[in-house]
Amino acid sequence: MLVFILRRLLLIVPMALLVVTLTWALIRVAPGTFYDSEKKLPPAIEQNIRTKYGLDKPWYTQYWLMISNVAVGDFGDSLKYIGQSVNEIIWRHLPYSATIGVLAYLLALIIGLSAGIIAALKQNSRFDYGAMAAAMLGLSVPNFVLGPILVLVFALGLYILPPARWGGISGLVLPVITLAAIYAAYIARLTRAGMLEVMRSDYIRTARAKGLDEKTVLLKHGLRGGIIPVVSYTGPALAGLLAGTVVVEKVFAIPGLGNIFIQSVLNRDEPLTLGIVAFLSILVMVFNLIVDISYGFLDPRIRYE
């Protein structure tokens, strides 16, 4: 097990560098540069900019400079936001998205798991249908629709919550609910499906036959197997949430990483994009590693060679 974890951890850095390389290539292939604007630049000014940022060097030199710096964790300065380093920007904005993301995921877990479990246990009951309909509503109402509706009701209709901007707990309520809705719906449905699958399996029957009480059967045996789909889903979802979600950040004007990431791509702000991509890929890999480890705990039949 330890060897397995170590091997995976060691893989993370080269993998992240590979992702950075691919992204770098994509940025270079994409049309447009960070300095393009509606006002066409005189050739001399364009030349000045290219010289300043080393864009006049051959591509392999530029790549080598980039990758050797990235390998030691130095992404350099943003091209768009002069005088701000990429690391600084990431660490400055991560807390915003992480706060909202973690809170939303916790909320989604609480709602989704309980709704999913109860729905599975009382399959085809009124609760089951109600919960699944609510989940489906959560899924089919996109967050760019849900957010504004919540704002309209709670901020502009009732004037009890701020419509946007970071600040205070009251400012967190609407974005967290907006973000959580879709995840809660996902989790509820995946849990229900997973539980239904497990509750019919042989080992649950065995457990029941052993005379264990229903609660133990459910929580100790059923749940562990039943939430495997949820766990598979959680890895990338949580990584994505930590790194921010553009729509909610834009609707609620939250200075999170997600919006900055999209903007950096749209601005062709190469160092910033690469920095966030590297960060995101490490995050994804770490979370997926945790997920893979937890498979072993959740289901003793899963083994790693």
85: three-class secondary structure by DSSP: strand
Q: Which of residues 22-61 bind another protein (CB under 8 A)?
A: 22-23, 26-27, 29-33, 35-45, 47-49, 51-52
Q: Is 129 in the site for another protein (CB under 8 A)?
A: yes
Burial class (CB in 10 A: 0-12, 13-18, 19+), 277: buried
Find the shortest distance in angstroms from Cβ 197 to another protein. Answer: 5
Contact 34, 267 (CB under 8 A): yes
Find the shortest distance in angstroms from Cβ 240 to another protein. Answer: 8
Q: Is 68 in the site for another protein (CB under 8 A)?
A: no
Q: Is 70 in the site for another protein (CB under 8 A)?
A: no
What's 77's DSSP letter? Answer: B
CA distance to 108, 145, 177, per residue, from 149 (Å): 19, 6, 12
Q: Which of residues 259-298 bind another protein (CB under 8 A)?
A: 259-262, 265-268, 273, 277, 280-281, 284-285, 288, 291, 295
Q: Is 62 in the site for another protein (CB under 8 A)?
A: no
Q: Is 232 in the site for another protein (CB under 8 A)?
A: yes
Q: Which of residues 196-225 bind another protein (CB under 8 A)?
A: 196-197, 200-202, 225
Find the shortest distance in angstroms from Cβ 288 to another protein. Answer: 6
Torsion (CA) 95, 260, 81, 267 in degrees, nearest 10: 170
Contact 287, 236 (CB under 8 A): yes
The identity of residue 281, as a single letter, is S
Considering only the stretches 64-72, 74-82, 98-106, 107-115, report the one whose residues sit in contact with another protein under the rule CB under 8 A: 74-82
Q: Is 150 in the site for another protein (CB under 8 A)?
A: no
Q: Is 9 in the site for another protein (CB under 8 A)?
A: no
Burial class (CB in 10 A: 0-12, 13-18, 19+), 214: exposed
Instruction: Give helix 126-140 / helix 86-121 axis angle, nearest 10°.
Output: 150
- Residue 122 φ/ψ, nearest 5 degrees: -110, 50
Q: Would you give the distance in Å from CA 260 to the centre of its chain?
A: 14
Find the shortest distance in angstroms from Cβ 155 to another protein. Answer: 6
Q: Which of residues 154-183 bind another protein (CB under 8 A)?
A: 155-157, 159, 162-166
Q: Which of residues 104-123 bind another protein (CB under 8 A)?
A: none
Find the shortest distance in angstroms from Cβ 45 to another protein. Answer: 6
The identity of residue 80, as a single letter, is K
- Cα separation of 107 and 11, whole Å? 33
> Which two three-digit tokens encode residue 1?
């097990």
Binders of another protein: how many residues, by CB under 8 A? 118
Comparison of 42 and 211: residue with beta carbon closer to another protein? 42
Q: Is 247 in the site for another protein (CB under 8 A)?
A: yes
Comparison of 114 and 288: residue with beta carbon closer to another protein? 288
